[in-house]
A and B are shown apart, each in its own frame.
Chain A
Amino acid sequence: MKGAFDSASAGKVTAGLGRVRVQLPFVRAMGGNKKIWVALAILGPILLLVLAAPFLSLPPPLETDVRSSLEPPSLKHPFGTDKLGRDVLSRTLAGFKVSLVVGFSVALISLVFGITFGTLAGFLGRRVDQTIMAVNDLFLAFPSLLLAIGLVAIIGAGTVPVILAIALADVPRFIRLQRSLAFGLRSRAFIDAARTVQASKWWIMRRHVIPNTIAPLLVAASIAAANAILIEASLSFLGLGITPPAPSLGNIIRDGQIYLQEAWWISGLPGFVILLVAISLHFLSDGIREALDPKARK
């Protein structure tokens, strides 16, 4: 049996990425988590509105109509209008779309870079670790909002610079997290088991390290997405983010700021949307964390 097996196998090398399988108990725990349902109950309708925006009879977000300047909320304009007579709901939904793009992109960039460099640093250790972490700590030393402001000031405003600026502040945190997780796995017996069959470091990182760190990383990513949305709003509010007239939740609020006394809805209603989104995203990440952490499950 042995001989036949050996000869048939000679020279073949297998490839194929280690598949990350989500285990059933995890999905079940997510489904059973109340916080996740609360978050989805808030986010779901907002997302639906964003997607349905083109089909609603709303004026386009950039269309001005000076005759209906500063109109309070009505059936025609549910969120009212601003100084230039633009529909605030339409602008809020468009701005929210930008927020989502920013949040998602930042989370994705942070995950990719965090997992890559964090795994290398934590698993390989020594020189690689020292080098990566030296650079990493340099970035960590800056306050994240300041770093973002500085970067936008250098490379200019717009969606892509904002994404890059926020990600630059988040990536080092992800690298730290992934490094510590990978480091903890290094001495586990199943890693030793793979080493005794002379599995390459690349193989071990792909098949054993990353699949076992992905869960906490996803939690961090959901928190990072929520924060990115808030930071984007703050940057835009300060005039450093998305450049008007393109709408973003931050610059809508900024525009309405000077009319706060006569037209509260311009800032107030988009502000309320940000509040809802931020709360629900934090609920969501909390829920995911509880679902993933067996100790938090009751």
Chain B
Amino acid sequence: MEPLLQVRNLHTYFFAKGGTVKAVNGVSFDLMPGERLAIVGESGSGKSAMAMSLIRLIAFPGRVVEGSVRFDGRELLDMTESELNTVRGRDIGTVFQDPMSSLNPVMRIGDQLIAPLRKHMRLSVKEAERRAVELLRQVGIPAAEERLKAFPFELSGGMRQRVMIALAIACRPKLIIADEPTTALDVTIQAQIVELLKSLSQDTGSAMLFITHDLGLVARFAQKVAVMYAGRIVEMGDVTQIFHSPKHPYTQCLLRTIPSIEGDRRRRLLQIEGFPPDMRKPIRGCAFRDRCPAAEPQCAMEAPELVKRAEGHVAACWLDEGLASLPIGRDWLAGEAEEAEAGAGLEMAPASSAAGGAGTVAAASGGDAPVLAIRGLGKTFLKRGGPPWRRRETKIRAVRSVDLSLRPGEAIGIVGESGCGKSTLARMLLGLEEPTGGDIARSGEVQIVFQDPYDSFNPKMRIADIIAEPLDVRGIGSPAERRLKVRELIQKVGLDPIFLDRYPSQLSGGQRQRVGIARALALDPKVVVADEPTSALDVSVRAQIINLLSDLKEKSGVSFIFISHDLSTVRHISDTIAVMYLGEIVEYGNAEEVFREPAHPYTAALLDAVPVPDPVKEEARKFKPLGGELPSPANPPAGCAFCTRCPLASDRCRSEKPPLREIAAGGRKAACHEIA
């Protein structure tokens, strides 16, 4: 069979002012009709630039400088812009990461769908409308006829992404390019979208190019995988080959850096040291060698080519088995070298609480007085609308009534979809939002590590001043003492004091997040709230931050509250889990127990939605993604809040609200009528 897409030696450079960024450096691959290929890589690996080069959607100052892209027997790189436009609209569909910015905000959904149908399929208005409704149904949008008249802002993120997919498949393309299509979405919605893409590709026979940094999704979705690093494909093969017998050290490392929701919890995640190379500088030899534990002199001299390892499996490494070829690499993979290094390299402050160092589970069940206790905490936002003579007040109960207590050294993970109230809860704990009900008893400072490391620092301040700010505000210590403390803090988070003189814009995402942690620790807090601390980071850096946080938790006795929708991360760092749904805790208990045997159907659905980075297990799971979306907190369902999406819902659930009750010994609680 002829390949649908044949890419050969593709080079794309960005001619920026500060130097030429060689984003794509010779990528070649084939894609067969109907095949699902995932391109995996971290930010800066050139995966998006590569995909956009295929359809020549590279923005100035980028340009495809060399190579060939043959699609369906025609060379795309030689086509005129108008020829290419018919290919882009009709034969190749695209889905981007952010559906809000890819849809025209002032055009109705229907008009956006009908235009390409009329242009490329030459349908009449009536036919196009009928087809548009059909398409919206196909991508799982309820009440499709009404949705045609809606504007993008009237739809939720998941619905908008479905509309984007409908647009992409509108003209029955032979190829769909999806660039991080689920990154902006919640886990349950993410699972729905991935299932949808997969079934569409099976039903319509479209080939798919799926670009992502999430290895779990790859295992769930793809048939073939290409791993990109520094603008090149370093390994490519069947999904099982990549996950079960990876040959390139980078792939081998990546697979071990991700926390899993399954199996035993590793104490420390493997982390890849260092950062990807600067793409403005010429790369001699293998681009990964600086971060590779098994690098040899040869790696610095010459870049290895992609060499066949098995049928359909190629990897670019001098060693046959990657890291596993050498004893040092095997040790590293086993995590022994890592443990030793962690013990010697990270100097921790002496534990200020008795709980530090002692097993965290013991700390959780010990009799220490809580450092934080909240009772019946609630927050209702009032939204006023309507004309002045007929004021309408909508009550939005973001947090309804939450009880929690946190012991010294305990880490609690709060999970739930966006809109479940977890961030509002955090803001109340920090004093950023006044509660409208209940009370909070704090026994010390509560500090925060923010989600977005790009927004959490004043861009006009030096790192030293940023970390010192809490001390400056409180007037703690003399200037000299403060400087000393700042140096101590930055070393505590594993950064060189040389960074103190820099500005936030000069730091990478991971480095910034470390600075954020240093700032949070400046006042010796009793509790640190981490609001999605790793969701803006790349996979390899994410592991570094998770390890740092777990070290701090164990060695300094600080209590942590982790807020996240990423269940695998939460599981890795937390002792206790609280699952929130629509402003309430629906399940609470020991982290291991909750993950092993989720009691509440919502918890079970959340866990099901998280992809496991193992294609065989994924295949065997046969899960059903949770349908529907989070109801509006302004108009919650009567009875159990989850009853609209729950597979177990009975009449009682729809009328009577289940209380949070103890369902097993050890403080395990859940709010559900249907479980024993």
Contact = CB atoms under 8 A, between A and B. Distances in A.
A20 B460 contact: yes
B469 A194 contact: yes
A14 B447 contact: no
A196 B447 contact: yes
Given A9-B481, A194-B469, A189 B523 contact: no
B470 interface: yes
Contacts of B349: 1
Interface stretch (A53-61, A140-148, A204-212, A223-231): A204-212
Given A2-B352, A5-B481, A12-B478, A192 B457 contact: no
A194 B473 contact: yes
A12 B477 contact: yes
Contacts of A5: 476-477, 481, 485
Contacts of B352: 2
Interface stretch (B448-456, B562-570, B596-604, B610-618): B448-456
A197 interface: yes
Interface of B: prevailing SS: loop
Nearest to B481: A8
Interface in B464-484: 469-479, 481
B350 interface: yes
A2 B473 CA distance: 18
Interface string B140-154: 000000000000000
**Which size bracket describes the interface of A in this complex?**
20 to 34
Contact of A188 (B427, B446, B455, B481): B455
Given A192-B432, A196-B446, A198-B431, A207 B458 contact: yes
Contact of A189 (B446, B452, B472): B452
B474 A197 contact: yes
A295 interface: no
A6 B478 CA distance: 11
Given A197-B523, A198-B473, A189 B431 contact: no
A272 interface: no
Contacts of B432: 192, 195-196
B76 to A, nearest CB: 28
Contact of A190 (B455, B462, B479): B455
A112 interface: no
**Which of A8, A13, A14, A188 is packed against the most chain B CB atoms within 10 Å?**
A14
25 contacts: A1-B350, A5-B485, A6-B476, A9-B471, A9-B474, A9-B476, A12-B477, A14-B475, A14-B479, A23-B503, A189-B451, A189-B452, A190-B457, A193-B450, A193-B457, A194-B473, A195-B431, A196-B432, A197-B447, A197-B470, A207-B458, A207-B469, A211-B460, A212-B459, A298-B17
Given A9-B481, A14-B475, A194-B473, 7 more contacts: A13-B475, A189-B451, A190-B458, A192-B430, A197-B447, A207-B461, A212-B459
User: Which 8 A-B residue pairs are closest in the complex by CB-CB distance?
Assistant: A9-B476, A189-B456, A9-B477, A197-B470, A13-B475, A199-B473, A211-B460, A189-B455
Interface of B: 17, 349-350, 352, 427, 430-432, 446-448, 450-452, 455-462, 469-479, 481, 485, 488, 503, 519, 523-524
